[in-house]
Amino acid sequence: MSDYSIKVDDFEFELNATDLDIVSIDQNGNGEFHILKDQKSFRAKVLSANHATKTFVLEINNTPYQVQIADQYDQLVKKLGLGTSSQQQANDIKAPMPGLVLEVSVEAGQKVEAGDALVILEAMKMENVIKSVGAGVIKSIQVEKGAAVDKGQLLIEMEPA
């Protein structure tokens, strides 16, 4: 097994730590990098990075590339058939308990991220903020302010982002 499995757009290759010894990488200070390999010079810039999924968009000599990196542990997990995901997709939101809807903080069509407040539900004289467990888009809102809800009642329909 190699140290890294790299996927650039649709092209995949293996890379070992010793392969990096023959590459010179210098940061220019303005978010750009200068790379020298096999007497060829490249200009690189990170356009976006998702460290949780190890996916990046890099611009190399003015051309953008989608890059996904898998280290030895990621490769082993894949080989064993185990799925890992540190990011969750938002599911439909249901009332965790009976209560009264005090506030709906989102609108249909709105994009939300994990931890975003969706609904404030009063139950047993306490305000409970119902938050999104992952990224998604609000498909529809099934309740309105002032409505009484039962445990397990659908409050918000979500769809993947």
3-state secondary structure of 91: coil
pLDDT the model gives residue 131 = 87
Give dist(CA 7, CA 161) in Å, integer: 23
C-alpha 93: how far from chain center: 19
pLDDT the model gives residue 48 = 80
Tell me what the pLDDT averaged over the chain comes to: 85
The predicted-structure confidence for 93-127, as pLDDT tens digits, reads as follows 888 889 999 999 999 999 998 888 999 999 877 88
| Structure-block tokens of residue 24 | 């010179």
C-alpha 54: how far from chain center: 10
- What is the pLDDT averaged over residues 24-49? 84
pLDDT the model gives residue 88 = 54
Q: Which residue has the higher pLDDT, 40 or 31?
A: 40
pLDDT the model gives residue 147 = 95
Q: Which residue has the higher pLDDT, 125 or 135?
A: 135
Nearest to 141 by CA among 112, 115, 125: 112
The rounded percent of the chain whose pLDDT value lies above 90 is 27
The predicted-structure confidence for 50-89, as pLDDT tens digits, reads as follows 777 888 888 999 999 999 998 888 888 777 776 645 455 5
Q: Which residue has the higher pLDDT, 49 or 1?
A: 49
Q: Which residue has the higher pLDDT, 119 or 91?
A: 119
Give dist(CA 7, CA 64) in Å, integer: 14
Give dist(CA 158, CA 107) in Å, integer: 11
- Domains annotated on the chain, with CATH: 4-79 (no CATH), 93-159 (2.40.50.100)
Q: Which residue has the higher pLDDT, 80 or 140?
A: 140
